[in-house]
Structures are given as structure tokens and as C-alpha cells.
Amino acid sequence: MGKTRQVGKYQLGRTVGEGTFAKVKFARNSENGESAAIKILAKSTILRHKMVDQIKREISIMKIVRHPNIVALHEVLASKTKIYIVLEFVAGGALFDKIVHQGRLSEEECRTFFQQLIDAIAHCHSKGVYHRDLKPENLLLDSHERLKVSDFGLSALHQQSDGLLHTTCGTPNYIAPEVLAKQGYIGAAADVWSCGIILFVLMSGYLPFDETDLPTLYKKINDAEFSCPFWFSPGATSLIQKILDPNPKTRIRIDEIRRHPWFQNNYVPVQQLHEIEEVNLDDVQAVFDDIEEEYVAERSESREGGPLLMNAFEMITLSQGLNLSPLFDRQQDYVKRQTRFVSRKPARTIISSIEAIAESMGLKVNTCNFKTRIEGLSLNKASKFAVVLEVYEVAPSLFMIDVRKAVGETLEYHKFYKNLCSKLESIIWKPVEGVNPGFMRTMSC
């Protein structure tokens, strides 16, 4: 029997994301059948790592910044041991994955995504919220390719008494020079800089500042040492140069970006949903308090002696709709922070092969119940890197190995995944071409 779990009115499916402090699972609202994503945090972990204020801030911010281009927070539930943040399920994957798949995007497509991004960030700033970790990995796409800003874990809700923010956070390649200087910075200007880096990456397919050692990277950022490729239109180049101004006082502001001729081209301001004037945050504290056990009913039925069975609901959510081809066709899979392959080898053989290859790569390996976590250092040795591989039985003698990033940068994850697959060719199933072409087309690595 497969593994089932219920949290309130939500039926939980498979894990779709896993970090140091939280897991994210697909879920289905049993009352209306709608999909959701539930971020699960253990209270003990939050308390042990003194993250209570950060989690409260993230929940509060997501309640405040409701907008069509921001991932919506539906509700927050709690048991005696866990907190469940119920979020809008965004089916199209991360914008970063689209760039990895396609390379640079057309200028018109870039402009549309950028317009949506600026609309979302302008709304955040109007609420006194500064994201501080804007990058393509935190920009999701729904089934209609509409951009959704996510991950407010590093956001600031308000500024210090001196009007400046003082915490250095974010991803180095996207951080504004004044943030790196550690002398206090204006949150709005720092977010604008990150938006400019994102626009450059969308249009070029690569980062404007990208060095293997951090001191060199920081110097280039501080000096704004970059150049726009020849295929950028004059209007795009003009706007990017105004955004990537190392001086935050003269850097273009969001209202000026919106008036820029390049931005104005085919710009349709987002139709904001009816906005609640006052947002009640009293329940944010409540999720950390002990509540009746029956408020969140949890049950878990585990299958012993083998990997988990993947039920129909989990397969549908995995394939982002009723079209199952993305399960086995890598060419259609944009959700590349989660990658997967299929094998007909016994489950234990799959796990032992993965363990042996990871250890031969000098990585730390930990396996429990057909789930393996692999850890090591990033290529520049500056940060930790971890992936999780889990074996699912999708049919008799047919197993799907789901691989997902746990810690580290997505670009490094893609490089690791490609390297891993090249070493696992002996266990990856590649059916004879022409056999059941409309159903089980295995993923090529």
C-alpha cells in the first residue's frame, strides 16, 4: 500500500522541494479538488535554529503582498510539532529552468516577464516589503506562463530607524554593490539592481558578473564592469545601464523604469485583484502556539520492504496536468530543479549504484528507505551543495528515480545531474524506439 497523508482538508502527495529547514509537497484540496503546495517546517528545527522571527516574517509578508504576479498564501496550519504553509501551486516551474532549457529568450518575451516582475516588486515596495533575494530561481511560471515571485524568506518587512537595511543576504551574482559594502542600503534600490541582473540574464543567457572567486566577483559588481551583447536593442541596453548603476542614489527607480520607452512597449498594467484594506496578522503568532490535535489530522501509512508506490494523484501532479509525457520526456520538462529518470533494475541495485558513484565523486552519502541524500561543496568551495534522490515504484519492475536540489545553486545542480547520469547509464532504462511511443518515453540525461 502506498503512503498517504492528510493535513486538514489537504491530501499530501510527493515531495517537490527540500531544503535545510523545510520540505515542500504537492497537495490537493479535498473540498474543491484544487492543487496546492504545502511548505512543511518542524517546530523543533525552527526553535533550535532560532528561526521563529524569520518564519513569522515570511508568513506575514506573504499575507501582506497579495498580487497576481506573486505566489499566493492560502492559509497557515499547525500541529503540535509542525507548521504548514499552504501556497498557490504554480505548475510551470522556475523561470531559471526555462533559461537553462532554451538559452536566452526573445526580447519581446523578456520584456513581458520583466514588466510582470516590476509590477510585482512595485507592489511589494508599496507595502514596505523588500524581497532581497530576487533571481530567476525564485521566479515561477504558471500554466499560462505568467510570472509569479516566490520565496520571501529573506525579505525585510520594514527598515531600521536610520532608514537603511543592514543585513547582507541574497545570491552573490545578483546582489547590489551597496549591499556587499555592508554600510547600510535602501531596500528598494537593491531590489531594482537584482531586477536588472535578471533582465540581463533573460536576454543574454548568462550572468553579467560571473567569476569563480568571490573577491574578483565583488570588484566587478562594485565597478559595474559589464557590457551588453550586440543583440540587445538600444532601448534594452539603455535601460539595463540605468539599472546597473553602482551608485544607488543615481540608479533608476521603479517609477522611472515604468516610464522608460523600452518598458512601455506593449505594456499592459496588471489588473490587481480586489485588495483587502487591512491585513490581520494576529493568526501568525497563533500557528506557533499549541492547538487541539484534531485541528490538523495526520496519518501516515508506510509500505515496508520496498520503495514507495506512486499513486495516480501523485503522477498527475508530477506531470503538471493530465499530459503524462513530461514524466518520461526530458524535452518537455521545464521543472529542472527536479529531474528524474527511469530504471528497470531492482530498487536496491539502483540505490547501491547511486551510492557507489557518489562516493567515487568524493561526496558524503546517507541513505534511508530508498531515499539518498548526497552532500559536498560547491565548485568554488564557497558553499555547501546537496541533492536528494528518491526511488518510486510506478509499475511492477519499473522504478522512477526523482532527483531534486536540497541545498546550493541550481546551475551547479544541473552540472551535477548531467555528470551523475553519465555515470549511471548502465541502470537507466531506454526502451526500444517505437515501442509505446505515446506513453513511456524515458528521460534522457
Q: What is the pLDDT of residue 194?
A: 93
Q: What is the pLDDT of residue 62?
A: 81
Q: What is the pLDDT of residue 213?
A: 77
176 within 8 A of 189, measured Cβ to Cβ: yes
Residue with cell 517505437: 434
The average confidence (pLDDT) of the chain is: 77
Per-residue pLDDT, averaged over 212-229, amounts to: 87
Phi, psi of 258 (to 5 degrees): -65, -25
Does the structure show a pLDDT above 90 at 211? no
Does the structure show a pLDDT above 60 at 296? no
Per-residue pLDDT, averaged over 374-398, amounts to: 76
Closest CA to 177 of 155, 197, 162: 197
Per-residue pLDDT, averaged over 359-379, amounts to: 82
* CATH number of the structural domain 95-264: 1.10.510.10
Closest CA to 14 of 348, 314, 354: 314
d(CA 115, CA 265): 10
Q: What is the pLDDT of residue 278?
A: 57
Per-residue pLDDT, averaged over 62-86, amounts to: 85
Does the structure show a pLDDT above 50 at 220? yes
The letter for the amino acid at 169 is C
Give me the percent of the chain exceeding a pLDDT of 70. Answer: 74
The pairing of beta strand 384-395 with beta strand 308-309: parallel
Does the structure show a pLDDT above 50 at 300? no
Task: Give 299's pLDDT tier (boundaries 50, 70, 90).
Answer: very low
pLDDT one-digit tens code per residue, 158-181: 554 445 554 555 578 888 888 888
Task: Give 48's pLDDT tier (boundaries 50, 70, 90).
Answer: confident
For 65, residues 6+ apart whose C-beta sits below 8 A from its C-beta are 123, 124, 127, 129, 152
Task: Give 292's pLDDT tier (boundaries 50, 70, 90).
Answer: very low
Q: Count how many Cα atoms sit within 13 Å of the Cα of residue 301 in the half-sphere of its side chain.
A: 6
Highest-confidence segment of 14-23, 61-70, 229-238: 229-238
The pairing of beta strand 384-395 with beta strand 371-377: antiparallel
Q: What is the pLDDT of residue 406?
A: 76
Task: Give 264's pLDDT tier (boundaries 50, 70, 90).
Answer: very high
Per-residue pLDDT, averaged over 306-334, amounts to: 50
The residues annotated as belonging to the active site are 133
- pTM of the full predicted structure? 0.68
Is pLDDT larger for residue 244 or for residue 284? Answer: 244
131 within 8 A of 191, measured Cβ to Cβ: yes
What ranges do the domains of the chain cover? 5-89, 95-264, 308-423
CATH classification for the domain delimited by 5-89, as one of 3.40.50.1110, 3.30.200.20, 3.40.50.300, 1.10.150.570: 3.30.200.20
Per-residue pLDDT, averaged over 83-104, amounts to: 83
* CATH number of the structural domain 308-423: 3.30.310.80
Is pLDDT larger for residue 64 or for residue 125? Answer: 125
Is pLDDT larger for residue 144 or for residue 329? Answer: 144
Q: What is the pLDDT of residue 239?
A: 96
Does the structure show a pLDDT above 60 at 318? no
d(CA 243, CA 36): 35
Is pLDDT larger for residue 359 or for residue 296? Answer: 359
Does the structure show a pLDDT above 70 at 356? yes
Per-residue pLDDT, averaged over 416-444, amounts to: 63
Does the structure show a pLDDT above 60 at 145? yes
- Asked whether this chain's domains 5-89 and 308-423 adopt the same fold, the reply is no
Is pLDDT larger for residue 286 or for residue 424? Answer: 424
41 within 8 A of 19, measured Cβ to Cβ: no
Task: Give 136's pLDDT tier (boundaries 50, 70, 90).
Answer: confident
